[in-house]
């Protein structure tokens, strides 16, 4: 049943029909039970809606960022005029969103194209070989540095900045053109920005990094490569309105979030996003961080141990039909799979009737690649459903800033509503703090010096417990 959608013109539409079964098949939600979810979970969704209506949700902070766009456009225009390369230093939400924007709207070969603008590189690791390879292909004097770190203390990104700041100065770069994007707290990164007299953009304090793509974190790289941030926000606003105005029986967020929660309670502990376009590949990686870091929580907001969440995976169709699909089809029945596809590609490629005498080739004549990709997605989905794997489908209208903004905001909202069902905080990440603390202490950070000996003892014990087997070269 199609509820409140225009399949040809909606920015996105969501099909949850194959998460449920009229026959109450094992692994699916009974259709009759789904009809009662409005009564069972409606109050939780209304609480989610009220935070949006009252402006108390961190999601509202992205919509309010429209006021910063004129300043960002001016800065982007200046950097585009002056530099051949843009290097973004970031990790997690400070990098994944920019990559998703770039790939969805400009494609994976942007830096190889002759488009008249600067190349854009995103460095999101401290792998020394990766850094060395990057240095071989960019002239730092002709490169603008954008250092993105909400807290300013993320150790990987801080190390990147220390290294490239020194190299940039040595190459004769203008440190006043360095751009730092962080929150407005009284911390080292803001003091450094003041000392350097460089460009400084602030992320709203209440907007976690993994939700920050619809802010200066995503807007500045978008504008640099010719994408209008206003259009990204227009798509987000469309989802915002639909979340508030669509009745429960026609509300995509309510339907999908509730079904995914119920399926998790029934043992579907892995949430796969199967993206049917290479232009969606980086979006899949952005989704993995958003879903895992927001929903993987030990405690409820009341302190009850719950071990919430489902494990996110991302796949690329049709490529991964020839790898991980075998496991999805015949492995453990612990997955729910969401397919994301594009309704209208800006270009298509028609196949001709080459080798007509060969049946393995003749049938392609007159078909297009987009048609084949769509058929293969449908065939994969139907095959999985037929053997007991619940599937849903999200279809985006086209490749445009509006549809990407809608997709970002839809999954952010989906996470926040689902967190309400689990009764957890979707905005913190306590599970990653211990690893950071050990790193700070072992690397010699002054305010963690008191814990260094404790961690060194733990490391010694951990190393003593290893069992290592080698493979010699003879």
Residues annotated as part of the active site:
293, 322, 436
Q: What is the DSSP string of 180-204?
A: EEE--SSSHHHHHHHHHT-EEEE--
Q: Which residue do the tokens 């008249």 mark?
A: 116
Residue 357 has a CB neighbour count (10 Å cut-off) of: 6
Question: Which is it for strands 179-182 and 143-148: parallel, antiparallel or unpaired?
Answer: parallel
Helix (H) or strand (E) holding 129: helix 128-137
Residue 179 has a CB neighbour count (10 Å cut-off) of: 21
Helix (H) or strand (E) holding 15: strand 12-15
Cβ–Cβ under 8 Å, residues 84 and 119: yes
Q: How far is CA 199 from the centre of its chain?
A: 26
Please list the helix, strand and coil fractions of the chain in percent, rounded to the nearest 5, in that order: 55, 15, 30
Using the 8-state DSSP alphabet, how is residue 116 labeled? S
Using the 8-state DSSP alphabet, how is residue 350 labeled? B
Give the Å distances, CA to CA, from 198 to 191, 369, 447: 11, 48, 27
Q: Which residue do the tokens 């026609």 mark?
A: 250
User: CA-CA distance, 473 to 434, in Å (whole number)?
Assistant: 38
User: CA-CA distance, 19 to 22, in Å (whole number)?
Assistant: 10
């Amino acid at each position: 049943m199609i509820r409140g959608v225009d399949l040809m013109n909606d920015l996105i539409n969501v099909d949850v029909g194959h998460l449920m079964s009229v026959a109450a098949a094992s692994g699916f939600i009974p259709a009759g039970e789904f009809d009662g979810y409005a009564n069972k979970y409606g109050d939780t969704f209304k609480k989610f809606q009220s935070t949006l209506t009252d402006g108390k949700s961190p999601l509202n902070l992205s919509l309010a960022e429209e006021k910063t766009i004129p300043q960002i456009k001016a800065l982007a225009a200046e950097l585009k005029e002056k530099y051949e390369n843009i290097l973004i230093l970031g990790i997690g939400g400070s990098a994944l969103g920019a990559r998703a924007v770039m790939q969805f709207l400009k494609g994976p070969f942007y830096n190889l194209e002759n488009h008249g603008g600067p190349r854009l590189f995103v460095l999101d690791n401290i792998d020394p070989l990766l850094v060395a390879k990057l240095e071989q292909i960019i002239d730092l004097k002709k490169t603008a540095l954008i250092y993105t770190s909400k807290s300013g203390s993320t150790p990987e990104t801080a190390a990147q900045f220390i290294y490239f700041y020194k190299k940039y100065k040595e190459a004769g770069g203008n440190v006043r053109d360095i751009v730092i994007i962080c929150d407005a707290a009284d911390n080292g990164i803001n003091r450094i920005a003041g000392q350097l007299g460089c460009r400084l953009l602030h992320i709203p304090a209440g907007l976690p990094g993994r939700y920050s793509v619809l802010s200066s974190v995503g807007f500045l790289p978008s504008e640099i490569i010719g994408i209008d941030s206003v259009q990204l926000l227009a798509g987000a606003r469309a989802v915002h309105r639909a979340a508030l105005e669509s009745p429960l029986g026609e509300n995509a967020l309510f339907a999908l979030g509730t079904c995914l929660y119920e399926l998790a309670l029934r043992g579907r502990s892995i949430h796969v996003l199967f993206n049917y376009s290479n232009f969606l590949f980086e979006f899949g990686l952005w989704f993995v961080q958003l879903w895992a870091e927001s929903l993987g929580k030990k405690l409820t907001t009341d302190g009850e141990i719950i071990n919430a969440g489902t494990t996110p995976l991302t796949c690329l169709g049709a490529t991964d039909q020839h790898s991980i699909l075998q496991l999805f089809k015949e492995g453990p029945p612990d997955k729910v799979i969401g397919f994301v596809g594009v309704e209208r590609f800006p270009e298509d490629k028609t196949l001709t009737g080459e080798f007509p005498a060969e049946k393995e080739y003749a049938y392609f004549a007159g078909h297009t690649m987009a048609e084949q990709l769509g058929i293969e997605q449908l065939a994969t989905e139907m095959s999985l459903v037929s053997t007991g794997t619940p599937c849903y489908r999200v279809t985006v209208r086209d490749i445009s800033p509006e549809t990407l903004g809608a997709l970002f905001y839809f999954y952010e909202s989906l996470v926040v509503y689902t967190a309400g069902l689990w009764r957890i905080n979707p905005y913190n990440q306590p599970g990653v703090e211990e690893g950071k603390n050990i790193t700070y202490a072992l690397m010699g950070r002054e305010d963690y010096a008191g814990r260094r000996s404790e961690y060194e003892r733990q490391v010694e014990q951990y190393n003593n417990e290893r069992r290592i087997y080698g493979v010699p070269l003879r």
